[in-house]
Structure 1
Amino acid sequence: MGSDETATTTPPLDGIDSVSALGEESRRRMFAFVRRAGRPVTRDEAAASVGISRKLAAFHLDKLVDAGLLRSHFGVPGTPRKVGRQPKLYEPTDAQITVTIPERRPELLAELLLEAVLTEGDGRSAADTAIEVSARRGRRLGELDRAAARPGRLGAERGLTMCERMLEAYGFEPARPGATEVRLRNCPFHPLAARAPALVCGMNHAFLGGYLDGLEVTGVEAVIVPTAGECCVRLRPTAAPAGPAATGSGDDTP
């Protein structure tokens, strides 16, 4: 995730799905051939590299495209693209596949910290800047998800359902103990969170709070609730304000 927008428009690649796509031997060998070629290759070249039919090679290559390991386009190797029927070419993507169980996302944390260091200004600590950057990143992600879904007004229950999709994609392992609460069974930033809990949990809290803001969910807030073996943040109903309104006195009192 380079720039702020690039980072939030590209969902994390599912490492398990990508690795499972390489379980078939011919597919794995073709993937290795394409990576070593240093240029886009045709279906015929890929088929010849493992000694299978062109049709079967096309099936395996397209599975690798679906898994995010290869990308495809039409053209002739080594020549400018022209109008008319061209062979389909395959080349590696820039995706880096990492599989961790439970899910870990150290790259997201690293990118937020790097951005904080690069944008740190006078009078602000790197930690404060990191929290601001995390909130901004989360808000942008929420805005993009809202623009894509166009959900209209989002109350607590429907808003949290939308949140679950993002939380699942980023490895938080969301669980719904109730219609208006989400617990996060996994911390994608562990074990770094254990080494610097104030910083990492603060960034996490800001990221998720920013996402709720960008998604424009009403009646829900991100709160820090340290729990052993889980993420430090929960999404739950907004706390009732203290004061006359909460006690039943005030302007409404006869």
Structure 2
Amino acid sequence: MASDPTPPAEAANTAIDSVSVLSEDSRRRMYTFIRRARRAVTRDEAAASVGISRKLAAFHLDKLVDAGLLRARYETPGGIRKVGRRPKVYEPTDGQITVSIPDRRHELLADLLVDAVLSEGADETAAQAAMRTAEKRGRQMGEAVRDETRPGRLGPERGLTACERLLDRFGYEPVRETPTQLRLRNCPFHPMAAKAPDLVCGMNRAFLSGYLNGLEVSGVEAVLAPEPGECCVRLCPSDTERDDEMAQDH
């Protein structure tokens, strides 16, 4: 899986900033005009599209560039080189704006399902392929983080601390209930999980189990523990860890 160059929390903040920039009417209309033009647009053209001065248009265009919605460069329209300074032109970036509060990760779920369909074996059902794909993706992510951070041996407490970063990045809103248990306040796959709980919650558990395995966290497991309005999965002490704790208590 390709690494995400921008952490989701940071990306969410960027998206909110972008939406805020587009709240101004002239700015939003110029942005729409430039996107529909399908070519680089000059300041004069952008100003004329909304009926404002070139100077005011430049101010709004610079705001759109700062927000990452447009990119600017100098170019002679039509490719004809003329004497003097080339005009500044603007064109849309490739980025998409998605804002969801609380955070949703439908693109991850869709990606996993596509991989499952493309890799489904003759001896497995579609649901089995989905679980396998989710576990594999989580494991690969855990292995990548372990290779990068080299955390050494990870018991329950240190392991959950290492997991919290991923869980927070993907919108799970983790809450440490005890030193060895994480409750996940948000389901990043809602409302799909409500529509197909067996499939989506099963994939969610498989994904988080794979991550624990890839990160080599001992004494912790991902278990299904549905609660209204929360994620269906919790990270809890494994059966072996619980047995050890009970033995120590006695």
Query: TM-score, structure 1 length as denominator?
Result: 0.72
**Offset of 1:147 from its aligned partner?**
4.9
Query: TM-score, structure 2 length as denominator?
Result: 0.73
**Offset of 1:142 from its aligned partner?**
3.0
Residue deviations 1:19-51, cap 9 Å, x none?
233223343233223212212446675566553
Give, in whole Å, the separation in 1 of the partners of 2:172 and 2:105.
10
Aligned to 2:93: 92
Residue deviations 1:168-217, cap 9 Å, x none?
33222222223433211121222322332221111000111222233344
2:65 matches 1:62: yes
Letter in 2 for 1:93: D
Aligned to 1:251: none
**Offset of 1:232 from its aligned partner?**
0.9
Give, in whole Å, the separation in 2 of the partners of 1:154 and 1:24.
52
**Number of residue pairs aligned between Structure 1 and Structure 2:** 233
Please say if residues 35 and 91 of structure 2, whose CA atoms lie closer than 8 Å, have aligned partners that are also in contact.
Answer: no
Relative to structure 1, the CA distance from residue 46 to residue 212 in structure 2 (aligned partners, 3 Å threshold; closer, same or farther) is farther
Aligned to 2:29: 29
Q: Which deviates more from structure 2 when the two are superposed, residues 123-132 or residues 39-48?
A: 39-48
SS of the aligned residue for 1:234 comes to strand
Residue deviations 1:223-249, cap 9 Å, x none?
22122221111123333258899758x
Trace 1:1-254 onto structure 2 (pairs within 5 A): 4-5=1-2, 12=8, 13-14=11-12, 15-41=15-41, 46=46, 49=49, 50-51=52-53, 52-53=55-56, 56-57=59-60, 59-65=62-68, 69-70=69-70, 72=71, 74=73, 76=75, 89-95=90-96, 97-147=97-147, 150=149, 152-153=151-152, 155=154, 156-240=156-240, 247=247
Please say if residues 34 and 92 of structure 1, whose CA atoms lie closer than 8 Å, have aligned partners that are also in contact.
Answer: no
Would you tell me which structure has more helix in proportion to its own residues?
A: 2
Relative to structure 1, the CA distance from residue 47 to residue 234 in structure 2 (aligned partners, 3 Å threshold; closer, same or farther) is farther
Give, in whole Å, the separation in 2 of the partners of 1:215 and 1:33.
48
Relative to structure 1, the CA distance from residue 30 to residue 204 in structure 2 (aligned partners, 3 Å threshold; closer, same or farther) is same
User: Once the two structures are aligned, what percentage of the paired residues are identical?
Assistant: 51
Give, in whole Å, the separation in 1 of the partners of 2:242 and 2:157.
24
For structure 2, the 5+ residue unaligned runs are: 80-84
Give, in whole Å, the separation in 2 of the partners of 1:44 and 1:22.
20
Letter in 1 for 2:128: D
Letter in 2 for 1:19: V
Letter in 2 for 1:62: V
SS of the aligned residue for 1:193 comes to helix
Please say if residues 172 and 185 of structure 2, whose CA atoms lie closer than 8 Å, have aligned partners that are also in contact.
Answer: yes
Letter in 2 for 1:142: G
For structure 1, the 5+ residue unaligned runs are: 80-84, 249-254
Please say if residues 220 and 241 of structure 2, whose CA atoms lie closer than 8 Å, have aligned partners that are also in contact.
Answer: no
Relative to structure 1, the CA distance from residue 202 to residue 41 in structure 2 (aligned partners, 3 Å threshold; closer, same or farther) is same
Give, in whole Å, the separation in 2 of the partners of 1:164 and 1:172.
9
Give, in whole Å, the separation in 2 of the partners of 1:27 and 1:38.
18
Give, in whole Å, the separation in 2 of the partners of 1:165 and 1:18.
25
